[in-house]
Amino acid sequence: MTTPSQPGAVQNACQPLLDAVAFDANGLVAVVAQQHDSGEVLMVAWMNRDAVIETVATGRVCYWSRSRGRLWRKGESSGQVQRLVELRVDCDGDTLLALVDQQGVACHTGRRNCFFRAWRDGGLVTVAPVLVAPDALYGQDRF
């Protein structure tokens, strides 16, 4: 007997969601991660079908890493995980909004979010400090 914890059952349970998503030619959909309680936009990433299914099944946000060519569980190397609160699909189905509870920083630069540079007076200005040194998150060999 199939239980909800088995992959086929989870995919079947997610099918209405998957049918609503307009994955691109590479099988990906853009995802905006937003802190559920403050509304802070944390980052933008990509998901494929497997990442959507895993995220819904586990409640821990999983993305598709284009640079690594594999699934990437947010926080797997840094410990800065995102717990899914709600997953929303936009009107065209070509973008997802992941309302998350971010533990720690979201950006690989050690900042709370990835949108730390602002265009002001004809130039880019850094508007958010590094909260955690990247080598403390990932080790010195990463950067």
Residue count of the chain:
143
Q: What is the pLDDT of residues 116-136, one digit of tens each?
A: 999 999 999 999 999 999 888
What's the gap between Cα 120 and its chain centre?
28
Q: Quick check: 64 and 46 in contact, CB under 8 A?
A: yes
Q: Which domains does the chain have, with CATH numbers?
A: 7-109 (3.10.20.810)
Whether this prediction's pTM lies above 0.75 is answered by yes
Q: 41-73: per-residue pLDDT in tens?
A: 999 999 999 999 999 999 999 999 999 999 999
